[in-house]
Amino acid sequence: MLSAESPYRGWPGKPRLGLGDQLALGFFWFPSNVLWTGLLLIVLPARVLQLVGSRQATGVLSWTSVVGVLVAIVATPLAGVLSDRWRSRWGRRRPQMVIGVLASLPFLAAVAYARSVPLFLVGLVGIQLFNNVGQAAYQGLIPDLVAPAQRGEASGFMALYNQAGVIAGGLLAAFLPATGFTGGVTLLLLLGLAVTWAFVREPSSLEEPRRPWPEELRGFFRWGETYRDFWWVFATRFLVMIGLYVLEQYLYYYLKFVLGMAQPDQTVFLLLLVLSATALVAALGAGLLSDRLGRRRFLVAVAGALQGACALIFTFSHGLGPIYAAAAVFGLGYGAYQAVDWALVVDTLPGGSPARDMGIWGASTTGPQLVALLAGGLLARFALPSLGVAQAYRLLFALTALFFALGSALVWQVRRVA
């Protein structure tokens, strides 16, 4: 059972967390990443292809996903505010997680069984809404429970579970039909919820004060010197994640239309396996190293630049060999980045409303999906007719290196570091 401090009054000091504590605290990242990896990389592109055919697939995938991402951008910070204000004997994070997970399950089934684009869109929007209701609450647990000296370690476990989720999500989506994938994800989400409820202890929040809703919403976005570093971390992650989501969202179509693969599903999984294996190696080590050295900015910058260099290989490659090599090296940068960047943003939180602030920061992850999808829509509208499919996708992937480079350089604007 976790025994650590949260922002609640009267909660004792934050003791050092043991291995079991860290494993329990980070576990919910695993089913969450199984869900989104399988959906984004394989299930959604494949389902859209089934519904509308290859001529309309890029455009329909882009605009339907844009709607879902817009819902997530709005829902996540509002759900974070709700979690910060939650009053119950079980704390303020876990009860909201229960609601978010259970409410998302029918919409997950709708995506798998939809026979029309409107029903597919309803399912996607519902998943984005309720998954982020639960996820926004969950993101408040590390700021609540982890002392500054162990934030890198906790973030390393988070990244470790992320990569394990990537492998499992790719495996389920590549080798099971959409209906089988949703069934497996449902069981994993319920398991993650059970582990968090049983082994992550929160104090009662019944006696905690809270501000009236109008006052809460008036102060929703915070600015000024106190939040300066937070917004710089937000901006740098936003740029890096644009590059990542372009690669992720359109990898399936890149393999199909540029390299000419008839059935890319299993190749997508194998690339994910290679990437995630090296990311697993880097994730926990980078988090622990950042705790020991206190040089989070340097590690974030190097990891982002490494991802950008590997992304360039997609622009010039004409075969799978270089792509596999790039995936292996990319994974090292990706695993290190995910671990250390999370610790860096927790370092910059002013305190008081951690779930709200982490919900706002979550837009640095969901917002780039929107930019990536809009890029795909522009690709379908303008570049494909003039350049052809192969050259248009090469151009799109080349632009990702620019976003990785900008995000890596601007992290040096962050002043307050661990």
Map out the domains of the chain with their CATH numbers.
19-205+222-413 (1.20.1250.20)
Residues 254, 379: Cα–Cα separation, whole Å: 13
Q: State the average pLDDT over residues 261-278.
A: 80
Which span out of 16-25, 318-327, 403-412 was modeled with the highest average pLDDT? 403-412
CA distance from start to end of the chain: 27
Residues 48, 54: Cα–Cα separation, whole Å: 9
pLDDT(1) > 60 = no
Q: Which of 401, 287, 294, 222 is nearest to 29 (CA)?
A: 287
Residues 340, 380: Cα–Cα separation, whole Å: 35
Q: What is the pLDDT of residues 208-263, one digit of tens each?
A: 766 666 666 655 566 667 778 888 888 898 999 888 888 877 787 778 877 777 77
Structure tokens at 151: 């934030």
Q: What is the pLDDT of residues 89-104, one digit of tens each?
A: 888 889 999 999 999 9
pLDDT(32) > 90 = yes
